[in-house]
Amino acid sequence: MEIKVKKGRILVYRVYDIGSEIDLDKVEALFEDKKLKERFKLERKNKSLIISRTPVSIQLGTIELNFDDKKITADLTAKVWHFGTVSLCFQIPILPGTSWPELVETAAWLENDGEINHLAQSKAKEFQNDIRSAIATVTDWTWNEDYVIYFIQEFDGLDCPVAQLIEKVDVPALILAEAREHLSDSMKKNILDNRFQYSRDDLVVVDWNSALVVEPNGSMDVPLVIEFSLNQLLEMRVYDDILDQRLNTLYNEVVGKKKGLFNNKYSALAEEAGQIYLEISEIVENVENSFKTVGDFYLATIFRASSQRFRFDDWKRSIDEKLGNLAEVSKLLHSEVNESRNQMMEIIVILLIAVEVIPLILDHIF
């Protein structure tokens, strides 16, 4: 008997960095305002997860998408995170009776469709303007993170435990959105090695660009954990790029400037380097600590798996190395400043001695 989806939806995420730290209390107050309340619906905080600052969720209404000359209505939700990101989630319903091959075809369409990207960018800009007063410093983002979660609550034709789903249908083809290629055994194994179960009735398969979540009770805890990881990944990319830019600027300033006793440029650069180091170190630590206390061992496992697939360690290592370079630049500049000051002091001492000695010499001569 062919396995079909009886109940489920596809969660399509687009995550943007819209500014520095966001005041979530102000965001909630903004969306309690009559003007925005008429347009959007504020969702109350999820109490099932322990996050340092739980994000604020706002329903942005429905969006019509074009798929194979058909109109699909998707619910759109925005989730605001205190460290400066917003994640938009298009919730696309899976029609009851959709077969697995049809679902894989839909995945391939999502992989190549540009309409969602265009809509997401437009909605993100609009949303950024709506909450501008709650953002400490507004930024113009140049990139985003994207992700897809195939969230299924119920199947037709699955007459075995859900763990055996991987034997009945091609889960890796769905995860990779490969409707045409026949994946190798090694590629399938690489994906299926990242599958997890809390009970006999659920299943999670996590990869770098998409995930399958089978959750009969409809709990959104697992998607929320993956969504948080996605937001964290974007922030790591953003600050890695900021460090690149700041280091290049400092290097160019140092190389382009000549040392001089009356040149205060090194002192200003040393102060700037130290300030950047403290600022970014604090922000990165703030992002990393946001999800340290997960009250559920299973969800913590999903978080670690997501982090591994998103290569958090590589990004963290890159940021740490650049912060180390920034600290060295700051130390070097401070050394140059101290050397210049010491030279100045030596000259002052020589001049003072000269002022004392020269009159004596002149008196002796004359």
Structural domain boundaries in the chain: 4-218, 227-361
Per-10-residue mean pLDDT of the chain, 366 residues long, equals: 93 94 91 62 51 82 84 92 93 95 93 88 93 91 90 92 92 93 91 93 95 94 90 87 80 60 54 66 64 66 88 84 75 62 68 70 65
Q: How far is CA 216 from CA 8, 9, 204, in A?
A: 10, 12, 12
To the nearest 10°, the Cα dihedral for 133, 136, 141, 143? Answer: -110
Structure tokens at 262: 């009356």
What pLDDT sits at residue 145? 94
- Assess contact for 134 and 26: CB atoms under 8 A: yes
What pLDDT sits at residue 262? 44
What pLDDT sits at residue 132? 94
